[in-house]
């Protein structure tokens, strides 16, 4: 079922600039060349009845309801599959057409239950609408004959039901799964009257390959595929357009609401990032917003051994202000700091860094991008001049060769992955660089030309090897590089990568990737046409994360794959607003817009606007904050929506540091792992409870609109402003749009951004200023932001984290489709049915050597710590490497990961940890401690002194 | 601040800039990076380590950067 406010034109609107004019029912209408007759009729305001067609799918021509008459043509052609032609004269209504359509509808209804009044689609059913539209008044066939009315309902999926008794076999679900999602999980089984929709091979939905993206549910014209929430709550009555708060794709959704109850989240057809598609998280996993675990009252306590005490907002804010002031008086100005959240809005992160710089009077502010894409910021700024990806998602449609390195888009960025898969099914080349056989390596109608299954930690060596082939075989685009980049640096780079040590044969020794595959992949990437690089945390979360980003930028510049559609270097950002939190000045060395705090002119702008003096020295990064806490010089911390005790490496080190703090203030939805070390808990608001903006991986700024009032009374931006007010620095904003106005005033790349403009245009990609008043979809056209593109030499340096006899395997960590980051949100939804625990993937060879069987409990031990979890024996991972996720706190994956980090940005090396795996029968010591500590903290929460209403 | 951790961080920076063919540029690269990204107490600590332990374990390029650019880096 489409959104209750969607208008369906019937077939897709072609992008052709040329128009043709025809007549529909005597009305002249001009449409883009390539339009269907159905589309022309819709645009003329004379829509034709239809069932199997919808404007999100290719025309199919099966239902026969949309037939029309065309002057000079015989018969009654289906308007959905008939191309409109210049001068054509179409008739959509006639007595004969009416009879034919009623006949068709009568057949459909003869095999459809007449339970409209109790059907969940009642009031929003296309079949019901069409029966009305064609004037169906009777069904002469009766219901005694053979029919499907007793077909069994499949309720296996936690979010939607499949009721085949209501199915009209229009194939919209099958085509949505094929064309939009690209999973091809559905098919039509049988022929003629026996035709039926079959998930997988006649399986139920949960057992099939279905990834629960919801595309089939959205495409279904009846209640055959229907959200369970609609069964529970009935039809929604209002719609609020907003932006998803999960990954960095930034899907636009229509929140369909009844009162303050969200009934459905329906992907917005007009959403610029997702164009009507969604994934299981954004589409269905919003139940956490009303989960009973949510804490809705501010709480304080003296020590983490004390029960919590509920207090008023005034008391809580006053306590925070007085504690932070006390600590600064006692331990100095630099003894406190804050962490901004990549899950909060731009306006909210901007205010937190403003609080730190203007009120705390230091630069001790950092963000969770520290542990994911900080190397992207460093690498792309160094080479291109801008700390952001170069393209918009749409660009991949124009790509001839896709290089995916250290990313798993179908799990981490599923909606963009669907778009990428369309390009790949259309024939684009594919190179996958990954230690694991991710889904993209082989999926329906897609097979990677090259899967370079390298050893974790050898990205730079491999990219240098690819560059070696390109340079030594004369495949570089010298003309482009010499014109657009510094010629001397380009020549130095060519000499550097041409060294024998980076020949494919030498690189094979380091990476384990056969030389001929390196050569083949290099030739494919460098061939004429558009080659684009997409990458993720498998690039950045290494000791050479920044170097790898630079190496990719070098590669793109050397082959001329930058500065137009279809090419570029594209980070797939993890969290919904990780780009935005970086843009907003969340790093300790940068003001908004990536201007260093030592830049006196930039500082002066802020000083004048904020009426304060700012510090010119960089502040502490998150890991430095922990180190400073342990040495006693850092005592207070304000944490906005971040859970680094679970997400950051070497958990035990962090726990020790947190225990040393005098005032930890956590602003969050739940009592997360970090909040267990907190002295003040400030209940935050979900994305449904506030206004603001998120910026996605393609620099696209989109509006987040309040769907309901904040459950705890204040939106996150209001809480920060109240702390500032209480500390004596007034922050007076009536609405987040005023904060964006301030951001625009102080940030050149945001100079033209306003809520009004975003609302009008739907979204804006920065830079948005006088030169680009409606934003910039593609960066570096005609020249780099920094002037000349900068080639930088990228020597491969092996990580210090080496395997040994004691720790012979490499652990690499990642994510899964159904869960999000630390799982705080998704673990509180039905998504747990797909991933109820973190498991350790291990190759059969390594498992057999250790006597490990599938499903057995094993212990991973590293130099940092030990945890136990279940083993999954699979050939998806190569021998010598094991893999797990970090979505469940009781697993404690980051107890095992080490403090090794990227040389430039301190981004942790999550992807390489030397470990040993052994069968065990009990939890690790840390896990026992975790269980006890969690029970204690839950008890202290349960014992909380409740405030009077 | 743990000095050994800072030594490791500094050496990582040194590893990157060591590939710069112009040695003086490489040394300056190390110094500029530390100046841009290290909070003053980290710089103070690394100089304490340099003075007390003669910078043991620090790569040559880092030692040179810390010594040549002491005026710019010291707190």
Residue A433 has pLDDT above 80, yes or no: yes
**Does residue A904 contact residue A546 with C-beta atoms inside 8 Å?**
yes
Q: What pLDDT score was predicted for residue B1?
A: 77
Q: What is the Cα–Cα distance from B46 to B66, expressed in whole angstroms? A: 9
Q: What is the mean predicted confidence (pLDDT) over A820-832?
A: 94
Give ipTM to 2 decimals. Answer: 0.97
Distance from CA of B39 to the nearest CA of A (A): 5
Q: Which residues of B touch A653 (CB under 8 A)?
A: none
**Residue A543: pLDDT band by 50, 70, 90 thresholds?**
very high
Distance from CA of B9 to the nearest CA of A (A): 6
Q: Do A619 and B21 touch (CB under 8 A)?
A: no
Q: Which residues of B touch A617 (CB under 8 A)?
A: 39-40
Q: What is the mean predicted confidence (pLDDT) over A211-222?
A: 98
Strands A595-596, A590-591: pairing is antiparallel
pLDDT in tens, A449-485: 999 999 999 999 999 999 999 999 999 999 999 999 9
Q: What is the Cα–Cα distance from A136 to A128, expressed in whole angstroms? A: 10
Mutate to test the interface with A, among B37, B42, B57 (most CBs of A within 10 A): B37
Which residue among A618, A627, A899 sits closest to B36, beta carbon to beta carbon? Answer: A618
pLDDT in tens, B10-20: 999 999 999 99
From the list A278, A111, A105, A80, the residue with the least C-alpha distance to A196 is: A111
pLDDT in tens, B31-66: 999 999 999 999 999 999 999 988 899 999 999 999
Q: What pLDDT score was predicted for residue A949?
A: 59
Q: What pLDDT score was predicted for residue A130?
A: 96
Chain B residues touching chain A at CB-CB below 8 Å: 1-2, 5, 8-9, 12-13, 15-16, 18-21, 33, 36-42
Distance from CA of B31 to the nearest CA of A (A): 12
Q: Do A589 and B37 touch (CB under 8 A)?
A: yes
Q: What is the Cα–Cα distance from A558 to A468, expressed in whole angstroms? A: 11
Q: Do A619 and B39 touch (CB under 8 A)?
A: yes
pLDDT in tens, A305-324: 999 999 999 999 999 999 99
Q: Residue holding tokens 């743990």?
A: B2
* Percent of chain B that is helix, strand, coil (3-state, to 5): 75, 0, 25
pLDDT in tens, A111-140: 999 999 999 999 999 999 999 999 999 999
Q: What is the mean predicted confidence (pLDDT) over A808-823?
A: 93
**Residue A16: pLDDT band by 50, 70, 90 thresholds?**
confident
Q: What pLDDT score was predicted for residue A596?
A: 97
Question: CA separation (Å) from A25 to A9, A11, A91, A172, A541?
Answer: 17, 19, 5, 28, 62
Which residue among B13, B33, B39 sits closest to A624, beta carbon to beta carbon? Answer: B39
Q: Is A861 helix (H, G, I), strand (E, B) or coil?
A: strand
Mutate to test the interface with B, among A489, A497, A617 (most CBs of B within 10 A): A617
Q: What pLDDT score was predicted for residue B44?
A: 96
**Residue A770: pLDDT band by 50, 70, 90 thresholds?**
very high
Q: What is the Cα–Cα distance from A874 to A883, expressed in whole angstroms? A: 10
Q: What pLDDT score was predicted for residue A598?
A: 97
Q: What pLDDT score was predicted for residue A142?
A: 84
pTM for this model (two decimals):
0.96
Q: What is the mean predicted confidence (pLDDT) over A201-211?
A: 95
**Residue A280: pLDDT band by 50, 70, 90 thresholds?**
very high
Question: CA separation (Å) from A787 to A377, A406, A767, A790, A873?
Answer: 17, 29, 16, 9, 51
Rg (CA), chain B: 11
pLDDT in tens, A322-354: 999 999 999 999 999 999 999 999 999 999 999
DSSP letters of A784-827? BTTBSB----------S----SSS-EEEEEE--TT--TT-TTGG
Residue A945 has pLDDT above 90, yes or no: no
Q: What percent of chain A has pLDDT over 90?
A: 96
Burial A247-276 (b: 16+ CB within 10 A, else e): bbbbbbbbbbbeeeebbbbbbbbebbbbbb
Q: Which residues of B touch A649 (CB under 8 A)?
A: none
Q: Which residues of A touch B12 (CB under 8 A)?
A: 543, 901-903
Q: What is the mean predicted confidence (pLDDT) over A151-171?
A: 97
Q: Is A203 helix (H, G, I), strand (E, B) or coil?
A: coil
Quote the domain boundaries for residue B26.
Answer: 3-73
**Does residue A881 contact residue A809 with C-beta atoms inside 8 Å?**
yes
Q: What's chain A's average pLDDT?
A: 96
Q: Do A334 and B41 touch (CB under 8 A)?
A: yes
Q: Is A620 on the interface with B (CB under 8 A)?
A: yes
Which residue among A618, A797, A901 sits closest to B37, beta carbon to beta carbon? Answer: A618
Q: Is A547 on the interface with B (CB under 8 A)?
A: yes
Residue A205 has pLDDT above 90, yes or no: yes
Does A155 sit behind a cis peptide bond, omega within 30 degrees of 0 on the bond before it?
no
Structure tokens, A363: 């630069």
Query: How crowded is residue A139: how many other Cβ atoms within 10 Å of its Cβ?
Result: 17
Q: Do B19 and A793 touch (CB under 8 A)?
A: yes
Q: Which residues of B touch A629 (CB under 8 A)?
A: none
Q: Is A545 helix (H, G, I), strand (E, B) or coil?
A: helix
Q: Do B1 and A624 touch (CB under 8 A)?
A: yes
Mutate to test the interface with B, among A589, A801, A903, A908 (most CBs of B within 10 A): A903
Q: What is the mean predicted confidence (pLDDT) over A80-92?
A: 97
Q: Do A624 and B15 touch (CB under 8 A)?
A: no
Q: What percent of chain A has pLDDT over 70?
A: 100
Residue A746 has pLDDT above 90, yes or no: yes
Distance from CA of A580 to the nearest CA of B (A): 21
The residues in A 884-903 lying below 8 A from B, measured between CB atoms, are 899, 901-903
The residues in A 414-453 lying below 8 A from B, measured between CB atoms, are none
Which residue among B1, B12, B13 sits closest to A628, beta carbon to beta carbon? Answer: B1
Mutate to test the interface with B, among A627, A654, A798 (most CBs of B within 10 A): A627
Helix (H) or strand (E) holding A691: none
pLDDT in tens, A608-654: 999 999 999 999 999 999 999 999 999 999 999 999 999 999 999 99
Mutate to test the interface with A, among B3, B7, B12, B57 (most CBs of A within 10 A): B12
Q: What is the Cα–Cα distance from A711 to A843, expressed in whole angstroms? A: 47
Q: What pLDDT score was predicted for residue A325?
A: 98
Distance from CA of B15 to the nearest CA of A (A): 7
Q: What pLDDT score was predicted for residue A948?
A: 66
Q: Is A194 helix (H, G, I), strand (E, B) or coil?
A: helix
Q: What is the mean predicted confidence (pLDDT) over A663-679?
A: 97
Q: What is the mean predicted confidence (pLDDT) over A203-232?
A: 97
Number of folded domains in chain B?
Answer: 1
């Amino acid at each position: 079922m489409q959104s209750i406010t969607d208008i369906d034109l019937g077939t897709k609107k072609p992008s052709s600039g040329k128009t043709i004019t025809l007549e529909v029912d005597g009305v002249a209408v001009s449409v883009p060349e390539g339009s269907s007759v159905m589309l022309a009729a819709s645009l003329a305001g004379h829509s034709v009845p239809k069932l199997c067609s919808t404007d999100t799918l290719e025309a199919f021509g099966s239902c026969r309801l949309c037939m029309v008459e065309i002057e000079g043509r015989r018969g009654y052609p289906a308007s959905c599959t008939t191309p409109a032609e210049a001068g054509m004269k179409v008739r959509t209504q006639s007595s004969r057409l009416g009879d034919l359509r009623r006949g068709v509808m009568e057949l459909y209804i003869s095999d459809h239950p007449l339970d409209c009044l109790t059907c969940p689609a009642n009031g929003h059913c296309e079949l019901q609408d069409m029966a009305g539209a064609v004037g169906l008044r009777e069904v002469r066939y009766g219901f005694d004959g053979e029919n499907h009315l007793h077909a069994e309902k499949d309720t296996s999926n936690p979010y939607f039901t499949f009721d085949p008794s209501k199915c009209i076999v229009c194939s919209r679900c099958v085509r949505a799964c094929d064309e939009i999602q690209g999973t091809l999980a559905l098919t039509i089984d049988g022929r003629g009257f026996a035709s039926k929709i079959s998930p997988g091979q006649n399986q139920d939905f949960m057992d099939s390959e279905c990834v629960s993206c919801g595309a089939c549910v959205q495409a279904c014209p009846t209640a055959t595929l229907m959200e369970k929430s609609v069964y529970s709550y009935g039809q929604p009555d209002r719609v609020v357009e907003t932006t998803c708060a999960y990954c960095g794709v930034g899907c636009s959704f229509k929140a369909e609401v009844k009162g303050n109850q969200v009934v459905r989240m329906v992907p917005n057809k007009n959403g610029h990032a997702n164009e009507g598609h969604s994934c299981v998280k954004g589409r269905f996993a919003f139940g956490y917003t009303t989960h009973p675990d949510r804490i809705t009252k501010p709480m304080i306590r003296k020590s983490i051994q004390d029960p919590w005490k509920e207090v008023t907002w005034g008391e809580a804010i006053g306590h925070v202000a007085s504690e932070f002031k006390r600590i600064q008086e006692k331990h100095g100005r630099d003894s406190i700091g804050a962490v901004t959240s990549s899950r909060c809005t731009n306006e909210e992160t901007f205010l937190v860094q403003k609080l730190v710089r203007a009120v705390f009077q230091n630069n001790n502010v950092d963000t969770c991008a520290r542990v994911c894409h900080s190397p992207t910021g460093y690498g792309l700024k160094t080479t291109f001049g801008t700390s952001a990806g170069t393209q918009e998602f749409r660009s991949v449609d124009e790509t001839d060769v896709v290089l995916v390195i250290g990313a798993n888009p179908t799990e981490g960025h599923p909606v963009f992955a669907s778009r990428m898969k369309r390009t790949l099914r259309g024939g684009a080349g594919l190179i996958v660089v990954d230690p694991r056989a991710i889904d993209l390596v082989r999926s329906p109608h897609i097979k990677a030309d090259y899967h370079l299954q390298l050893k974790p930690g050898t990205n730079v060596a491999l990219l240098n090897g690819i560059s070696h082939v390109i340079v030594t075989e004369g495949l570089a685009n010298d003309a482009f590089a010499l014109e657009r980049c510094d010629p001397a640096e380009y020549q130095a780079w060519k000499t550097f990568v041409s060294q024998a040590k980076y020949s494919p044969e030498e690189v094979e020794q380091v990476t384990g990737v056969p030389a001929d595959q390196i050569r083949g992949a290099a030739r494919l990437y460098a061939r004429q046409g558009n080659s684009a690089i997409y990458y993720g945390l498998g690039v950045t979360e290494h000791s050479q994360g920044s170097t790898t980003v630079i190496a990719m930028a070098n590669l793109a510049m050397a082959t001329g794959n930058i500065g137009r559609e279809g090419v570029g270097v594209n980070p797939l950002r993890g969290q919904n607003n990780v780009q935005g939190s970086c843009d907003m000045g969340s790093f300790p060395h940068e003001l908004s817009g990536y201007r260093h705090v030592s830049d006196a002119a930039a500082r002066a702008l802020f000083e004048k606007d904020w009426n304060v003096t700012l510090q010119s020295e960089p502040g502490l990064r998150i890991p430095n904050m922990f180190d400073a806490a342990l040495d006693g010089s850092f005592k207070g911390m304000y944490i906005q929506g971040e859970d680094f005790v679970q997400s950051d490496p070497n958990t035990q080190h962090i726990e020790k540091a947190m225990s040393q703090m005098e005032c930890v203030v956590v602003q969050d939805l739940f009592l997360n792992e970090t909040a267990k070390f907190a002295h003040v808990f400030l209940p935050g608001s979900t994305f449904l409870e506030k206004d603001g903006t998120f910026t996605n991986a393609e620099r696209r700024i989109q509006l987040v609109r309040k769907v309901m009032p904040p459950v705890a009374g204040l939106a996150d931006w209001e809480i920060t402003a109240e702390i500032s007010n209480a500390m004596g620095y007034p922050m007076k904003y009536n609405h987040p749009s005023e904060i964006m106005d301030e951001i625009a005033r102080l940030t050149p790349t945001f100079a033209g951004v306003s809520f009004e403009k975003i609302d009008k245009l739907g979204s804006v990609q920065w830079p948005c200023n006088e030169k680009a008043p409606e934003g910039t979809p593609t960066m570096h056209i005609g020249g780099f932001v920094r002037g000349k593109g900068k080639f930088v030499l990228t020597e491969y340096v092996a990580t210090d984290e080496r395997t040994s006899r004691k720790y012979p395997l490499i652990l690499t960590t990642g994510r899964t489709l159904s869960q999000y980051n630390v799982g705080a949100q998704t673990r509180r939804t039905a998504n747990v049915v797909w991933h109820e625990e973190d498991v350790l993937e291990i190759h059969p060879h390594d498992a057999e050597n250790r006597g490990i069987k599938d499903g057995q409990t094993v212990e991973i031990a590293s130099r940092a710590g030990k945890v136990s979890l279940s083993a999954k024996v699979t050939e998806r991972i190569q021998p010598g490497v094991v893999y797990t996720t970090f979505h469940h706190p009781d697993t404690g994956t980051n107890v095992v990961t080490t403090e090794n980090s990227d040389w430039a940005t301190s981004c942790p090396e999550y992807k390489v940890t030397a470990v040993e795996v052994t069968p065990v029968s009990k939890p690790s010591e840390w896990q026992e401690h975790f269980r006890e500590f969690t029970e204690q903290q839950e008890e202290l929460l349960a014992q909380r002194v409740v405030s009077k209403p | 601040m743990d000095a050994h951790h800072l030594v490791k961080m500094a050496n990582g920076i040194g590893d990157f800039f060591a590939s710069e063919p112009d040695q003086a540029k490489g040394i300056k690269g190390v110094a500029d990076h530390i100046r841009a990204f290290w909070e003053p107490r980290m710089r103070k600590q690394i100089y304490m380590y340099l003075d007390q332990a003669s910078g043991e374990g620090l790569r040559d390029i880092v030692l040179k950067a810390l010594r040549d650019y002491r005026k710019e880096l010291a707190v």
